[in-house]
Amino acid sequence: MAGYVNVRAYAELNDFLGLESRGLTVRRPFRTHQTVKDVVEAMGIPHTEVDLILVNGDPVHFAHRPTVGDRIAVYPVFEALDIGSTARLRPVPLRDPRFVIDVNLGRLAQLLRLLGFDAWWSSVVDDRTLVEISLGQQRILLTRDRGLLKRRDITHGLFVHADQPKGQTLEVIRRLDLRQRLAPFTQCLRCNGRLSAVTKDEVIDRLEPLTRRYYDEFSRCADCGQIYWRGSHHAKLVSLVEELRDQL
């Protein structure tokens, strides 16, 4: 049996809707076997973007089945705001945030690593593997693929709205309230391993002559062995970090 419900999406959830539906209460068709999760995702809103659903003013779970004429209000993820354990739909926020990043967001992965975040990324990985990594390693999935975030198993994920890498980086940090967690130059840009300080003597046999002569501060990746030092390339990265910090 078919019926209808009245649904309104709030804040940035409107970005998933057509222009004619944004900021408005819209009548949506549904069948009695459908849940509020089904109704919301049929509108184009991934469940990972939703943290609170009210039906006729009362908080409900994704599995709740509405009835004809119900008023459904859908609110976005509140990572930085405690809205109460009885209302929150998703598992509690990951307070030691680590990321798994879709193949098309490689530059975002690199910028997050630059700022000190653990960001797993590969240019050759399928959606199933991304989901497995997200679940198995408790990583927040970052993607611009709405369909990927609608997969039932995904619990922590964010749709990245911005088009450009810098804007994407700022968006992730702001939405997850990560300003206080920045730790630049502690993550390997190449493989995502952790960096640790080493003495010049420990790496001198791997340095080019000019590097050996003019630089004294070094760090090394614990995983791939990549060596970093404070050269001209480092100065550019410092400038980029400061630019991002200034915009937060």
Q: For the chain, what are the domain ranges?
A: 2-76, 99-181, 195-247
pLDDT in tens, 141-163: 999 999 999 998 888 899 999 99
Instruction: Please give the single-letter amino acid code of residue 49.
Output: E
Residue 54 bridge partners (DSSP): 59, 73
The backbone torsions φ and ψ at residue 119, rounded to the nearest 5 degrees and listed phi first, read: -130, 100
Instruction: Please give the single-letter amino acid code of residue 64.
Output: H
- Return the CATH number of the domain spanning residue range 2-76: 3.10.20.30
Q: Beta strands 157-159 and 195-198: pairing type?
A: unpaired
Torsion angle (degrees, nearest 10) of CA 58, 63, 67, 71: 40
Question: How much is the pTM?
Answer: 0.79
Structure-token match 């509690």, residue found: 92
Q: What share of the chain is helix, strand, coil (3-state, %, to 5)?
A: 35, 20, 45
Return the structure tokens found at 211. Answer: 């590097």
Q: Is the pLDDT of residue 6 over 60?
A: yes
pLDDT of residue 90: 58
Q: Is the pLDDT of residue 97 over 80?
A: yes
pLDDT in tens, 20-33: 999 999 999 988 89
Q: Which of 99, 83, 86 is nearest to 156 (CA)?
A: 99
What is the rounded CA–CA span in Å between residue 154 and residue 222?
Answer: 30
Kind and range of the H or E run holding 202: helix 200-203
pLDDT of residue 1: 56
pLDDT of residue 82: 47
Q: What is the mean pLDDT of residues 229-234?
A: 78
Lowest mean pLDDT among 72-81, 125-134, 194-203, 238-247: 72-81
